[in-house]
Amino acid sequence: MAETILILGGARSGKSRHAESLVEQAGGRLVYLATAEARDEEMRARIREHQRRRGDRWQTIEEPLDLVAALTKHAAPECAILVDCLTLWLSNLMGAGRNVDGEVANLVAALPNLDGAILFVSNEVGMGIVPENALARSFRDQAGRLNQQVAAAADRVVFVAAGLPLVLKGPPPGELDP
C-alpha cells in the first residue's frame, strides 16, 4: 500500500531518527534520497553521521534538485523511500533560480502516482522570530507553503519535538501502515 508521511520538526528535534525508524520497520528495500550537498566541513560531518547511523542496509541516492524524477524512478511497492530533507531541497531550488511554486506543484501532483511508502523530513522554520533580511523571510515563507502543501497531500503528518512524535494527521506514529 502506498503511504505518504511528512515528518516535521526543528533542528536536532529527532525528526530524521524517527523517519529512519519508520522506514526500517517497513522492511523491503530501504532508500535514502538525500537532498543535501556537502559544501562545507560541517555539512560533510552531518552527512557522515547520518550515513553511519543508517548503516549499509540503505541505498543512498543523492538528488539536490530533481526530486520528482528521483522519486518516480525509485518508488516501488516493495520499497520505502525517505527524503531528507524538503527544506534543503527548497534551499537548493532557490539557489539555482528554479521556479519553486512549479517544482512544489509537480511534487504534490506526483505523490498519488507513486508506489510504496514515501516519507519526507522537513524543518518547521516558521515558529521563531521574523528574519531580518528579505532572502531569509522569503525562505521561511516558501518553506511554510511547501510544508502546508505536502501536509495536505500526505496520509500522515507527524511533528517531532525533543525526540517525541506528535501525530497531527493520520494514524498513531508507531509504524507504517501494512
Query: Which domains can be identified in the chain, with CATH numbers?
Result: 3-168 (3.40.50.300)
Contact 173, 8 (CB under 8 A): no
Q: What is the pTM of this model?
A: 0.91
Peptide bond into 79 cis (omega under 30): no
What would the pLDDT profile of 63-118 be if each residue is shown by its tens digit?
Answer: 999 999 999 999 999 999 999 999 999 999 999 999 999 999 999 999 999 999 99
Catalytic residue among 15, 31, 32, 50: 50
Contact 81, 116 (CB under 8 A): yes
State which H helix or E strand residue 49 sits in.
Answer: helix 41-54
What would the pLDDT profile of 5-29 be if each residue is shown by its tens digit?
Answer: 999 999 889 999 999 999 988 878 9
Residue 158's CB is within 10 A of a number of other CB atoms, namely 23
Question: What whole-number distance in Å separates Cα of residue 89 and Cα of residue 25?
Answer: 25
18 in active site: no
